[in-house]
Amino acid sequence: MASPRSIALLLTTALATTAAAAPQEAVAPADEPPVYTHWRTYGLEDGLPSERVLSIAVDGDVVWAGTEAGLARLRDGQWETFTTADGLAHDVVSALTVCEVTGDLWIGTMGGLSRFSAGRIDSFTQLDSGLINDVIYGLDAVRGDVWIATASGVSGYHPDENRWELYNHENTVMHEPWCYGVTATEDRILIAVWAGGVVEHDPERGTWKAYRDPDGEMEIDLVRDDGLVHDVISGVSWENGVLWASTYFGLSRYDGRTWRSWLEHESPLPSNFINFVKVRDGWAWLATDLGLAATDGRRWIVWSLTEESQAPQLAVHRSESESEQITPDGGLPHNFVFSVAPDRDRVWVATACGVALGSRAPIEPDHAGQE
């Protein structure tokens, strides 16, 4: 069987709640790091159509998981699967996002784009719509519109107008058309470009800007904190004027004035190979091939499995000089993490061996996935 890392590389080249917690949910102080010590996992035996989960999204008390064998929905403690037989564009679901304006779920697959709305699935491909390519790596929605990162560029779809926008290396500053991820905000679109850094688009002004690794080296980072740590970008996330960029060679952060990067050999980052990044409430959540990490740029929390016994472990780094190891109640089912969805005082994790739910408070099995 192919390794999780090889599966990820294949995709790049071809390609509730908490559980409700105990009766009284733990509430952490505003600045308390998300040290989630209680975990529950979901696998084939719980109703997932595949143990390999590539994407995950949360919509209130509903959890969506994109797998290699269809879209799975956790509602009222039960998993339900949707496939091409239900209208899905393709059974390999690589990206998910929920539109806050309409409540629709947008689904990126290896064979087109789908929308789950009011119990109905509609699909779009490059043959019957303005989708620039059917191989989708990332999605985001803002103001009712959806932005799609594909193997041939980025498409923007405006459902109210049934209007498409198409962008690639021919009509933007993109170094090449292969786009791994996209983040849409009220005033900008940020695109993760393979070997092309981060590209920023201002839809109102129609302007484009590229952020690149200044030294241009693919093997090493010659000058630290001079820009992106590397041009091979796997994901982008934005919050309160701060950009986070994940790469296969480390992590970078930009606050509009200063760049900062982290590498595994000189920080608590568990691996330079980062598949995905998502920031929420100042914390960047990182899906790596050696575990899950969260950081605010100063403090770090890392969840992983020990190499020999595969036992769950949790490391909390409150500063460079203060760290502790905690034995958690459960943990990740696998160290290879594809995606992560932080949600209030809990986190949902897509891994190579199922879905994991982390929480501050004990998780009641019958209430996981519900408020």
The reported pLDDT for the residue numbered 62 is 97
Distance CA(66)–CA(48), nearest Å, equals 10
* Enclosing domain of residue 120: 4-367
The reported pLDDT for the residue numbered 9 is 47
Q: Are the C-beta atoms of residues 168 and 174 closer than 8 Å to each other?
A: yes
Q: In tens digits, what is the pLDDT along the chain, a chain of 371 residues?
A: 445 555 454 454 444 333 333 334 445 555 789 999 999 999 999 999 999 999 999 999 999 999 999 999 999 999 999 999 999 999 999 999 999 999 999 999 999 999 999 999 999 999 999 999 999 999 999 999 999 999 999 999 999 999 999 999 999 999 999 999 999 999 999 999 999 999 999 999 999 999 999 987 766 777 889 999 999 999 999 999 999 999 999 999 999 999 999 999 999 999 999 999 999 999 999 999 999 999 999 999 999 999 999 999 999 999 988 999 999 999 999 999 999 999 989 999 999 999 999 999 999 875 455 54
The reported pLDDT for the residue numbered 133 is 98
Distance CA(184)–CA(190), nearest Å, equals 6
* Length in residues, the chain: 371
Reduced 3-state DSSP string for the chain: CCCHHHHHHHHHHCCCECCCECCCCCCCCCCCCCCCCEEEEECHHHCCCCCCEEEEEEECCEEEEEECCEEEEEECCEEEEECHHHCCCCCCEEEEEECCCCCCEEEEECCEEEEEECCEEEEECCCCCCCCCCCEEEEEEECCEEEEEECCEEEEEECCCCEEEEECCCCCCCCCCCEEEEEECCCCEEEEECCCEEEEEECCCCEEEEECCCCCCCCCCCCCCCCCCCCCEEEEEEECCEEEEEECCEEEEECCCCEEEECHHHCCCCCCCEEEEEEECCEEEEEECCEEEEECCCCEEEEEECCCCCCEEEEEECCCCCEEEECCECCCCCCCEEEEEEECCEEEEEECCEEEEEECCCECHHHCECC
The reported pLDDT for the residue numbered 158 is 98
Q: Are the C-beta atoms of residues 319 and 298 closer than 8 Å to each other?
A: yes
Residue 311: which CATH number? 2.130.10.10
Residue carrying structure tokens 């119990």: 119
Cα–Cα separations (whole angstroms), residue 6 to 93, 250, 351: 17, 19, 14
Distance CA(212)–CA(210), nearest Å, equals 6
The pTM assigned to this predicted structure is 0.91
Amino acid at 28: A
Distance CA(191)–CA(331), nearest Å, equals 32
Under the phi-then-psi rule, with left for phi > 0, alpha for psi from -120 to 50, and beta for the rest, what region is 98? beta
Share of the chain above pLDDT 70, in %: 90
Q: 236, exposed or middle or buried, with CB in 10 Å at 0-12, 13-18, 19+?
A: buried
The reported pLDDT for the residue numbered 215 is 84
The reported pLDDT for the residue numbered 10 is 46
- Taking alpha carbons only, the member of 137, 107, 139 closest to residue 123 is 107
How many domains does the chain fold into?
Answer: 1
